[in-house]
């Protein structure tokens, strides 16, 4: 199974497990108990970029069904958010939800492999739970293609954590074709100084993940 097939089969149930759906498989019902850090990391990214996005274009890599995009539109005066995802299922649902919520004029969603795509220009590029599924070479090539001055990404760290070992078992049980944990040092190496000073947001509620960005502390992008 390749990444595209994996995510096409997985993403809807994976997302539903965090939004209280009742039709989940046993393993996803079980996994949902461990997904609070995922919701918290998306909230952290949202709160981090909110003061900076009014009138701006945001690009989201691995946008899933657009839940982050919708929260961003509802809570800011963002000009536009462009979401890219490899899964057709996710992009179809994102388009449908954006129509239903009356947010289609602000949201664009495209089914695309962000690794091989020419990325659109944006003011800020974000990605949550996205880098974890890319090899080091893919991340390096991706960051050469990013055409925004600012980036915000979540990073699942390769560090000791019981929850991380449970996560590995989950990924094995689901036959996830590729998944990686990186250290902060590796991450800084991938960026090779391209994005200037990089900051890390750490919080126990993020579990073995952190949020990394190069946003200015003075909120004027």
In the complex, which residues of this chain contact ligand SAM (CB under 6 A)?
3, 7, 11, 42, 62-64, 67, 84-87, 90, 113-115, 128-130, 133
- Output 20 or 193, the one with its CB closest to ligand SAM: 20
Q: Minimum distance from CB of 133 to ligand SAM (Å)?
A: 5
Rounded alpha-carbon distances, angstroms, from residue 212 to 39, 82, 125, 196, 201:
16, 20, 12, 12, 6
**Is residue 156 within 8 Å of residue 208, measured between CB atoms?**
yes
Q: Minimum distance from CB of 220 to ligand SAM (Å)?
A: 27
Backbone angles phi, psi at 202, to 5 degrees: -120, 145
Q: Minimum distance from CB of 218 to ligand SAM (Å)?
A: 28
| Residue with the shortest CB distance to ligand SAM | 62
Q: Minimum distance from CB of 159 to ligand SAM (Å)?
A: 19
* Residue 172 to residue 165: CA distance in whole angstroms: 11
- Output 180 or 186, the one with its CB closest to ligand SAM: 180
- Output 83 or 195, the one with its CB closest to ligand SAM: 83
Structure tokens at 33: 């108990």
Which of these, 35, 36, 78, lies nearest to 60 by C-alpha position?
A: 78
* CA distance from start to end of the chain: 41
- Output 57 or 86, the one with its CB closest to ligand SAM: 86
Rounded alpha-carbon distances, angstroms, from residue 219 to 116, 148, 214:
32, 16, 12
Q: Minimum distance from CB of 185 to ligand SAM (Å)?
A: 23
- Output 75 or 219, the one with its CB closest to ligand SAM: 75
């Amino acid at each position: 199974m390749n990444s595209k097939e994996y995510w096409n089969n997985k993403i809807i149930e994976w997302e539903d497990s965090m939004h209280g759906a009742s039709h989940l498989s046993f393993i996803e019902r079980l996994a949902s108990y461990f997904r609070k850090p995922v919701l918290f990391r998306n909230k952290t990214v949202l709160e981090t970029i909110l003061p900076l996005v009014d009138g701006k274009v945001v690009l989201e890599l691995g946008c899933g069904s657009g839940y982050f995009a919708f929260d961003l539109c509802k809570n800011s005066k963002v000009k536009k958010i462009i979401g890219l995802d490899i899964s057709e299922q996710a992009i179809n649902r994102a388009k449908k939800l954006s129509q239903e919520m009356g947010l289609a004029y602000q949201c664009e969603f495209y089914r695309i492999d962000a690794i091989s795509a020419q990325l659109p220009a944006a003011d800020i590029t974000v990605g949550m739970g996205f880098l974890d599924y890319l090899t080091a070479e893919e991340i390096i090539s991706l960051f050469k293609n990013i055409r925004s001055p600012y980036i915000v990404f979540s990073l699942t760290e390769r560090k000791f954590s019981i929850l991380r070992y449970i996560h590995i078992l989950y990924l094995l049980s689901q036959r996830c074709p590729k998944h990686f944990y990186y250290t902060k040092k590796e991450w800084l190496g991938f960026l090779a100084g391209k994005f200037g000073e990089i900051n890390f947001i750490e919080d126990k509620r993020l579990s073995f993940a952190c949020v990394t960005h190069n946003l200015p502390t003075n909120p004027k992008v």
